């Protein structure tokens, strides 16, 4: 800290000569001191230059940045580690960057794959590892691989294991050969196959995959067509927080599983809903409900519009929902009458519509097929908390492709006009993101017109209506002249924070 300068005499004040000389000496001393301080500072900066650019970034920030490059495979850090000595030191020193092992996508031998696994084991030190094996291309023999793998990994603590293969039996063989200490620590487990038809039942039979041994399991993915033969004993369902089942099991069997998943937070199911109507009407009493009190994200993918699960699920804090189906109603073989009236369609969709309305207060994101317009119109008044809406074309029932032009027109008219803010109608007041995906070329111009009107009404500053932040339209062709016609208005709204992504 610099000292206070000596006080000078006021103008006109008579000061003795000796006092004037003393004041000058003090000023000279202070000036010399400041000079020496500045000189010493410059010399220190020259001897130890201050890091600039990337060299000045703290190692913790670099490590956090590199973690985004991992993307499920620690191999992605090999090239960045060769950029400079600083990057290499940070990457090799941070054990958390070497916990993701992905094997099978590269054309490599078993020896090379196991060598990489051994390297990750050393650099990760005491941390738990995540293993992902993709053997769809049959790049390695699972039999020869698992023997060497079992010896090498006896002391490794696994956090997650993901296996993708063309034969479900390989998953059973691989997991059953893991030591009990590894199985007891696994929190995430994923099995995927490329099969379209079941090849047997991996659960409930002798020498089958026993998921009860995974005592720490929190996330389970079974992406194969094989059904579960013994639901109750297949897994410790009550401890799962994430569940994905793509086997085409009847909804009533999936409901039996969901009743046990009391801790579930994220759920993705692909039910066979063809018998939903029959199962829902069986017995004198309605089916027992599944109370998923912690569920925040739900995805239902089916051929026909689901009935049973929406009618029996209780999700008080659901925030994100995805529904996808190809057929919004089915024709009874014994009924030759037309089944395309609005009242019939409403009756078919009433359970799904009721479920969405029950979750309206907490729902933030909704992804639906284009034919959902008739249901959405009935739900709009209650969806006051919805912030993101994703629409996936087409807007007609896949079963009636011969009438797709007429049905697409009706679907578009049902879906988009209610989203336009008017003085008499304010729907989805908190909507910030609108996505329209897989938009067909034939109806693209009309959809672009409606999207423009929706943006115009929501960027006008209407009281109680949030400004749109992003619009996404994905089509299979280039931009049209009509879109260019709206370019000036879109640019004005972009200055207010709206991001527009019209991709051809």
Q: Helix/strand/coil (H, E, C) string of 403-438?
A: HHHHHHHHHHHHHCHHHCCCCCCCCCCCCCEEEEEE
Angle at 192 between CA 186 and CA 194, to 5 degrees: 165
- Neighbouring residues of 384: CB distance < 8 A, sequence distance ≥ 6: 360, 361, 428, 429, 430
Q: Residue 328: pLDDT band by 50, 70, 90 thresholds?
A: low
Burial 88-121 (b: 16+ CB within 10 A, else e): eebbeebeebbbbbbbbeeeeeeeebbebbeebb
Residue with tokens 């994200």: 297
pLDDT score for 480:
55
Return d(Cα 439, Cα 417) in angstroms, integer.
17
Dihedral of alpha carbons 356, 360, 363, 366, sign = positive
Which stretches does DSSP call E strand in 136-224? Answer: 158-165, 188-193, 219-223
Whether 277 shows a pLDDT value over 60: the answer reads: yes
Count H helices, E strands: the chain?
A: 17, 16
146 vs 256, more confident? 256
The 10s digit of each residue's pLDDT in 21-67 is 888 888 888 898 899 888 888 887 677 666 667 777 888 888 899 99
Contact 458, 468 (CB under 8 A): yes
Whether 309 shows a pLDDT value over 90: the answer reads: yes
Task: Please give the radius of gyration of the chain, using alpha carbons only, rounded to the nearest integer.
Answer: 33
Share of the chain above pLDDT 90, in %: 24
Residue with tokens 């041994």: 213
Which of 274, 270, 304, 276 is closest to 196 using CA atoms? 270
Average pLDDT for the chain = 80
Question: Considering the entire predicted model, what is its pTM?
Answer: 0.79
pLDDT score for 327:
67
Whether 408 shows a pLDDT value over 90: the answer reads: no
pLDDT score for 286:
77
The 10s digit of each residue's pLDDT in 413-467 is 888 888 998 888 889 999 999 999 988 887 888 888 899 999 999 998 888 899 9
Burial 145-163 (b: 16+ CB within 10 A, else e): bbeebeeebeebebbbbbb
Whether 202 shows a pLDDT value over 60: the answer reads: no
């Amino acid at each position: 800290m610099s000292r206070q300068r000596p006080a000078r005499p006021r103008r006109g004040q008579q000061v003795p000569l000796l006092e004037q000389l003393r004041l000058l000496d003090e000023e000279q001393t202070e000036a010399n001191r400041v000079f020496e301080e500045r000189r010493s500072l410059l010399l220190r900066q020259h001897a130890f230059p201050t890091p600039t650019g990337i060299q000045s970034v703290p190692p913790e920030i670099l490590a956090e940045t590199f973690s985004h490059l991992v993307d499920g495979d620690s191999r992605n850090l090999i090239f960045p580690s060769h950029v400079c000595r600083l990057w290499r030191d940070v990457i090799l020193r941070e054990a958390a960057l070497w916990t993701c092992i992905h094997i099978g996508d590269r054309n490599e031998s078993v020896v090379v794959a196991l060598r990489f696994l051994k390297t990750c084991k050393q650099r990760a030190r005491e941390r738990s590892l995540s293993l992902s094996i993709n053997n769809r291309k049959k790049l390695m023999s699972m039999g020869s691989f698992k023997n060497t793998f079992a010896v090498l990994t006896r002391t490794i603590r696994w956090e997650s294991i993901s296996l993708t293969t063309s034969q479900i039996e390989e998953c059973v063989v691989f997991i059953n050969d893991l030591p009990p200490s590894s199985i007891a620590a696994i929190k995430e487990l994923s099995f995927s196959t490329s099969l379209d038809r079941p090849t047997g039942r991996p659960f409930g039979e002798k020498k089958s995959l026993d998921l009860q041994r995974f005592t720490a399991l929190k996330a389970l993915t079974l992406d194969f067509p094989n059904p579960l033969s013994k639901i109750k004993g297949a897994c410790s369902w009550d401890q799962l927080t994430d569940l994905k089942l793509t086997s085409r099991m009847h909804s009533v069997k999936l409901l039996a599983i969901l009743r046990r998943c009391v801790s579930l937070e994220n759920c993705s199911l692909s039910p066979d809903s063809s018998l939903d109507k029959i199962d829902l009407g069986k017995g004198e009493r309605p089916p027992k409900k599944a109370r998923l009190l912690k569920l925040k994200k739900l995805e239902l993918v089916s051929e026909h519009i689901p009935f049973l699960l929406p009618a029996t699920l209780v999700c008080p804090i659901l925030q994100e929902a995805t529904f996808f189906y190809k057929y919004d109603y089915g024709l009874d073989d014994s009924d030759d009458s037309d089944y395309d009236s609005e009242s019939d369609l409403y009756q078919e969709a009433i359970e799904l519509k009721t479920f969405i309305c029950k979750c309206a207060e907490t729902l933030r994101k909704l992804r639906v097929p284009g034919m959902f317009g008739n249901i959405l119109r009935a739900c709009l008044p209650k969806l006051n908390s919805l912030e993101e809406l994703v629409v996936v074309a087409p807007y007609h029932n896949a079963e009636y492709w011969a009438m797709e032009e007429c049905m697409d027109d009706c679907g578009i008219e049902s879906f988009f006009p209610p989203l336009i803010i008017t003085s008499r109608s304010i729907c989805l007041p908190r909507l910030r993101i609108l996505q329209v995906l897989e938009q067909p070329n034939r109806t693209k111009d009309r959809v672009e017109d409606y999207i423009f009107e929706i943006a115009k009404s929501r960027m006008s500053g209407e009281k109680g209506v949030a400004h749109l932040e992003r619009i996404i339209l994905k089509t299979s062709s280039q931009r049209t002249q009509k879109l260019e016609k709206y370019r000036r208005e879109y640019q004005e709204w972009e200055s207010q924070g709206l991001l527009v992504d019209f991709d051809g």
